[in-house]
Chains A and B, each alone.
Chain A
């Protein structure tokens, strides 16, 4: 959040909205590379950072609708993700059918544990045991119903041969100020 440049004159006279908007820009944007995530139809993009790339499973052993938890980022003691093959194409999904996705297990409302709440019928996580929020796993973890102020953070996946790798996270994990300390 450093290097903010602001033209205070332009704020006082925001008739010159364009000038003001340019000067109002948050710094740090230049350090973020945006790449389109495979399978995304809309404008959603992923910030690629220096996340560790680790193997979390294999395509051949992953059964449809079987939720598998894994820890990520690797050295983080509180953050787990769930890997699941939905059986239908999903935003950010990988694999032949673009249906393999992974999401944070911490509810982005108040950090309720979503472990074990995957609903095969709805391809959804939740309801959160705390306040009942549900998330749509086929649409980037978007809130279906409830209170979370962010979508459920989605892991960026990659398949090489039979191996499934996680290479990054879209969104901020509950409780964190940065996913990578």
Chain B
């Protein structure tokens, strides 16, 4: 039952009456984005167990898989316009997509407990704006809070420039919010000191090796994950972190004969089930994926197991760029390279990955070896953070190359993609102002600011943190936490009275003395960022408290309905951004409601994979609000890019889909980019990339456990979403299961250290490499890192074609401009592909300008400016490797520790330990054990790579408890 904060099980739950109201939504949590229905009825008006008296029209008890059961944790009581209402939130039993029949994870299944109810552990939601006075947060009005922020912001920008005004924000928490926030930071303020929650730098793709190959990392549809003969999975167990992609798609595939190969250092339930049903478990050492993937690719080409028909038709047979270190000059060049490359040798792979050579060979056979009748296995490739947050460029390039030679990437059941983490909720409202950022690595493009390092170098006067546990998140470091504290709550200049003028004047003095003013906007108190550090704390309204939209991992857009009141004076993030922007005198923020933001944002987004401008045009043609059209689509929603063809809105099941048939476009803005049916390159053919080990191997050797150390790798589990703010910290049922942080350790490693399950451990390291400095305009910075003095940056401003395009569209947004330039020929076959057909040799002819089949490079500035990192020579890349940075004095060594309860299990590989990735309620910061050395190409973190010393310090109280925490195996089959 809802109204309690302990874990007493109850034996009764109310049912919605026949006339209960129904709202559709999707889960707030993982990428899967399951469809849910919210049933709402006034307190005191319950239905009953008889079919005629409840909204499901079912007699209770209901049958297995009926989708009509409400468990006690799925019920709550919420406030609706100040009046108490029952709600029951359950997986949509009518849905035929995503979570078919109402399947749900433990996270989404308990999401009713997320709603604010002052009788539950949600009672501490942030309700009012607050300002820290004499170290204590005091309530202020919205007007005063915004006034103070605006005054201080203007002062910072005037005295220290735009780049001293910073924002660190979630990248995913709904389009209306991210659009407003990025429009403010990137287009309004134009600051380069902007970064999203999981990355230190502002922009660029998460999986650059994949982008450079020409594949969108969310191109597949969920049904593809059941439709292969063999599914190769790296760096995740979907069972544990995108549950329903496993339950409804992968599991059904396995039960229909699909074999799954899992490449992870930890055997959880999905991995164990797949292995027991004809699949393989490749127990890999953290960070060594490139070696495995290269070795497999080599075995395949040496045995001529590649899909030559696909390769001939769909792989570029000439490099798109000259002097490029990664891009192969066609398949033959790739083959020549990989058959000679040292770090594609099977013996080296076996040694470093820890996977026996015969298993590697068998896996290569499974994914690529043609059957006796000459037919090929249909193989798909899915991956996630274990792969791409360890060796970002190399791993994503290698898995894409492996997939491509197996014929995957552009057809049903043969796809390459991410499974995903959080949902796709970024909706840019402006372009990252590269020209304002000071670094341009020699021979290379401009770099975004590394915001952590920027703050540590004292370059920020005002920072606004939105919905992220910055101190604990992926690139966490002790150095960052200490810096944030020293510049804010520990700074000697702090306001002493609740007087607006005094506060503004005090903040200005602090900024003059090198301090910083920090605003934190969130839904809960978060230790320590808003409880201890932040000067101003703003309460946000979230899921269920505002009509919001975003897409899931198959680009499915839904409306997430508002169905209850936000607590106190909490406001949606878009609204807060708009209030501030207007106070700053910025135009374009006068939205009335979230639908206004949604409709506006569409015009910035027409060329992206989440394009829904067609939906907005369609709605307007019917005189309707776009949110309402989406609401009518319920939990099914529509898959982006949304197209308007033959008078109907059409979703796009998968991208690069060679089997796609399109209709006749309706409306002004035709959405039919070439990459709907081809790869996202100039030619429409994919690039094979040569993933080298050298740009990562030096770091890996340094980070490899020495002496008594073990690998300390991190990840998610089913029961907990992100920092545990909703569940591990506030759901009694989940708290009982996971009252504290934990560490899984192999029995052999545990025995050596005298560790048993339930023991309290300290995990520490005092040689954590941290990238430092680089922004001082010294000769060295200029030479090595290409740092340009900021005052010179005005000269660098180039006309940004995207911005111009957006501006034009935006300015003309009352009527929508046609944008034919983004669209390929619709009805005619592609002359290039027809012409080249099955030819293999010789360079691709230069594609002629053809209005019916335009060249993407000329026409999609987004791709040119944002999506590609290629065009680099090895000398350029080498500069930024760990060894070179060490040599040049850009690396220092930090220390950190955290505590955990031991779980001794052979589910984790010997020599490797596993802990939850981000639990602010744990003692210490798990992520801070990982080095802060960025990928030389993508400037992305490598936070899965950490090692530490593990010591028992005593017994936890859970060791002998019967009611809290379980130490049982999570891979029972």
Contact = CB atoms under 8 A, between A and B. Distances in A.
A134 B254 CA distance: 19
Interface string A160-181: 0000000001111111111111
Nearest to A174: B69
A21 interface: yes
Interface in B935-966: 960-966
B273 interface: yes
Contacts of A148: 106, 109
Contacts of B72: 150, 171-172
B693 interface: no
Given A143-B737, A153-B9, A43 B963 contact: yes
B962 A138 contact: yes
A14 B10 contact: no
A35 B269 CA distance: 36
A145 B44 contact: no
A148 B105 CA distance: 7
Contacts of A131: 103, 247, 251
A170 B67 CA distance: 22
A157 to B, nearest CB: 14
Contact of A41 (B9, B12, B963): B963
Q: Which of A90, A130, A146 is most buried by chain B, counting CB atoms within 10 A of its CB?
A: A146
B513 to A, nearest CB: 35
Contacts of B82: 8, 11-12
Interface in A106-154: 106, 108-113, 119, 122-124, 126-127, 130-132, 134, 136, 138-140, 142-151, 153-154
Given A140-B962, A145-B970, A175-B66, A127 B269 contact: yes
A147 B64 contact: no
B61 interface: yes
B9 A110 contact: no
A47 B127 contact: no
B905 to A, nearest CB: 11
A55 interface: no
B73 A149 contact: yes
Interface of A: 1-4, 6, 8, 11-12, 14-15, 17, 20-21, 24-26, 34, 39-47, 49, 76, 78-79, 89-92, 106, 108-113, 119, 122-124, 126-127, 130-132, 134, 136, 138-140, 142-151, 153-154, 169-181
A24 B44 contact: no
A34 B567 CA distance: 31
Contacts of B77: 4, 24, 26
Nearest to B54: A177
A93 B43 CA distance: 38
Q: Which of B73, B247, B718, B968 is most buried by chain A, counting CB atoms within 10 A of its CB?
A: B968
Give the top 6 A-B pairs by smallest Cβ distance, nearest first. A42-B963, A91-B962, A111-B64, A171-B9, A175-B61, A145-B970
B119 interface: yes
B84 interface: yes
A8 B46 CA distance: 20
Contact of A143 (B8, B106, B565): B106
10 contacts: A8-B83, A26-B77, A41-B962, A78-B63, A111-B69, A122-B968, A134-B269, A138-B962, A140-B963, A175-B62
B43 A25 contact: no
Contact of A177 (B49, B103, B568, B969): B49
A106 B103 contact: no
A101 to B, nearest CB: 10
B86 A1 contact: yes
B725 interface: no
B796 interface: no
Contacts of A172: 9-13, 71-72
A8 B63 CA distance: 39
Given A111-B64, A170-B11, 6 more contacts: A20-B118, A139-B961, A149-B71, A171-B72, A177-B14, A177-B48
Contacts of B66: 111, 175
A71 to B, nearest CB: 13
Interface in B130-148: 139
A26 B269 contact: no
A180 B61 CA distance: 10
Contact of B127 (A15, A109, A173): A15
Interface of B: 1-3, 6-15, 43-44, 46, 48-49, 60-67, 69-74, 77, 79, 82-84, 86, 102-106, 109-110, 117-119, 123, 127-128, 139, 239, 243, 247, 251, 268-270, 273, 565, 567-568, 718-719, 733, 736-737, 960-966, 968-973
B718 A44 contact: no
A142 to B, nearest CB: 5
B733 A44 contact: no
B491 to A, nearest CB: 29
Contacts of B12: 172, 177-179
A145 B3 contact: no
B333 to A, nearest CB: 45
B123 A124 contact: no
A131 B15 CA distance: 25
A40 B972 CA distance: 25
Given A1-B44, A43-B963, A134-B972, A24 B243 contact: no
A151 B243 CA distance: 18
B64 A110 contact: yes
A169 B11 CA distance: 8
Nearest to B127: A14
Contact of B118 (A24, A43, A147, A173): A24
Nearest to A8: B82
B115 to A, nearest CB: 12
A174 B119 CA distance: 26
Contacts of B966: 136, 139, 142-144
B113 to A, nearest CB: 9
B848 to A, nearest CB: 54
Contacts of B15: 177
Contacts of B736: 42, 44, 142
Nearest to A134: B972
B876 to A, nearest CB: 46
A15 B251 contact: no
A4 B10 CA distance: 18
A179 B963 contact: no
A170 B12 CA distance: 10
A144 B733 contact: no
A143 B736 CA distance: 10
A89 B14 CA distance: 35
B955 to A, nearest CB: 14
B794 to A, nearest CB: 49
Given A131-B103, A139-B962, A177 B970 contact: no
Contacts of B737: 142-143
A134 B15 CA distance: 27
A25 B14 CA distance: 15
A137 B833 CA distance: 61
Given A41-B961, A142-B736, A24 B64 contact: no
Contacts of A89: 962
Contacts of A17: 118, 123
A140 B508 CA distance: 57
B972 A43 contact: no
A150 B270 CA distance: 21
Contacts of B719: 143
B84 A4 contact: yes
B127 A176 contact: no
B7 A146 contact: no
Nearest to A108: B71
Contacts of A176: 60-61, 69
Contacts of A111: 62-66, 69
Nearest to B736: A142
Contacts of B268: 145
A90 B962 CA distance: 6
Nearest to A132: B269
Nearest to A6: B84
A147 B8 contact: no
A178 B568 contact: no
B962 A149 contact: no
